[in-house]
């Protein structure tokens, strides 16, 4: 009978923080018309107006990326009353064409102000939301995992020294997430209210991510 190996299981905790270095402007355009083709045409015209606006703000037309396009029928509730009850009936009112787009660029307050001011005054009247994220996601994720692994090893050495045993080779490593720890779509968000004359003066909050890694060692 082989002797069962003695093991130690340690959970390491990794942390990483970083000031966002990238701005993501999310823009939504909507157009409505009784006719399907007219709604789509108006929607296309809105996108062209928006592209012209970002070029005016110093960007390239193809910097504006479409993330979602949708055309759907819309209905209104029509109220009908009789002597005994009130009924509601859905009445077709037309089609709604919607475009979701985004504009991503390096964070710079002046550039952000120029972009928002120009886009907000565009006749297409897009809804605007502002988010801040990290450009080099891979390096940020690597940093989290490295700090988690170092934390686990530090704890393992302390425990082994206290118990009078020797830390052996690693026999298993398990990370609690198989997906990217920090996804590029994970952002620190801010609200934009149109109509304010004051320039935007954002100081984005640090992005903070914590991850754990479980490491199993042999002990001798």
Report d(CA 117, CA 124) in Å as an integer.
Answer: 13
Bridge partners (DSSP) listed for residue 97: 31, 71
The predicted structure's pLDDT at residue 199: 58
Residues 20-41 pLDDT 10s: 899 999 999 999 999 999 999 9
Report d(CA 185, CA 132) in Å as an integer.
Answer: 10
List all residues 6 or more positions away from 142 whose beta carbon is below 8 Å from its beta carbon: none
Q: Identify whether the C-beta of residue 130 lies closer than 8 Å to the C-beta of residue 190.
A: yes
In the chain, CATH 3.30.70.2970 covers 22-76+89-133
Report pTM: 0.74
Q: Which fold has domain 1-21+135-191+204-220?
A: Translation Initiation Factor IF3 (3.30.110)
pLDDT band at 1 (very low <50, low <70, confident <90, very high): very low
Report d(CA 34, CA 95) in Å as an integer.
Answer: 6
200 has a pLDDT exceeding 80: no
In the chain, CATH 3.30.110.170 covers 1-21+135-191+204-220
**HSE toward the beta carbon, residue 5, CA cutoff 13 A:** 12
Q: Write b or e for each residue in 38-59: b if 16 or more Cβ atoms lie within 10 A of its Cβ, otherwise e.
A: ebbebbeebbeebbebbeebeb
Angle (CA) 17 210 24, round 5°: 50
Report d(CA 120, CA 115) in Å as an integer.
Answer: 8
- Residue range 22-76+89-133, CATH number: 3.30.70.2970
The predicted structure's pLDDT at residue 187: 54
What's the first-to-final CA gap in the chain, in angstroms? 19
191 has a pLDDT exceeding 90: no
Q: Identify whether the C-beta of residue 202 lies closer than 8 Å to the C-beta of residue 131.
A: no
The predicted structure's pLDDT at residue 91: 86
| DSSP 8-state class, residue 182 | S
């Amino acid at each position: 009978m082989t002797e069962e190996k003695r093991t130690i299981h340690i959970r390491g905790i990794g942390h990483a923080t970083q000031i966002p270095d990238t701005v993501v402007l999310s823009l939504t355009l909507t157009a409505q018309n009784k006719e399907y083709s007219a709604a789509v045409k108006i929607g296309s015209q809105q996108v062209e107006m928006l592209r012209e606006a970002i070029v005016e703000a110093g960007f390239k037309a193809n910097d504006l990326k479409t993330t979602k396009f949708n055309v759907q029928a819309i209905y209104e509730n029509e109220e009908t009353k009789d002597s005994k009850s009130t009924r509601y009936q859905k009445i077709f009112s037309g089609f709604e064409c919607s475009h979701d787009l985004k504009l991503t660029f390096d964070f710079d307050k002046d550039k952000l102000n120029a972009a928002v001011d120009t886009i907000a005054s565009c006749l297409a009247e897009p809804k605007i939301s502002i988010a801040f994220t990290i450009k080099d996601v891979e390096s940020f994720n690597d940093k989290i995992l490295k700090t988690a692994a170092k934390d686990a090893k530090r704890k393992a050495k302390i425990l082994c020294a206290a118990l009078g045993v020797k830390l052996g080779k690693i026999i298993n490593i398990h990370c609690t997430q198989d997906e990217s720890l920090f996804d590029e779509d994970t952002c620190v968000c801010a609200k934009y209210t149109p109509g304010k004359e004051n320039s935007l003066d954002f100081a984005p909050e640090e992005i903070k991510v914590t991850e754990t890694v479980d490491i199993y060692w042999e002990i001798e």
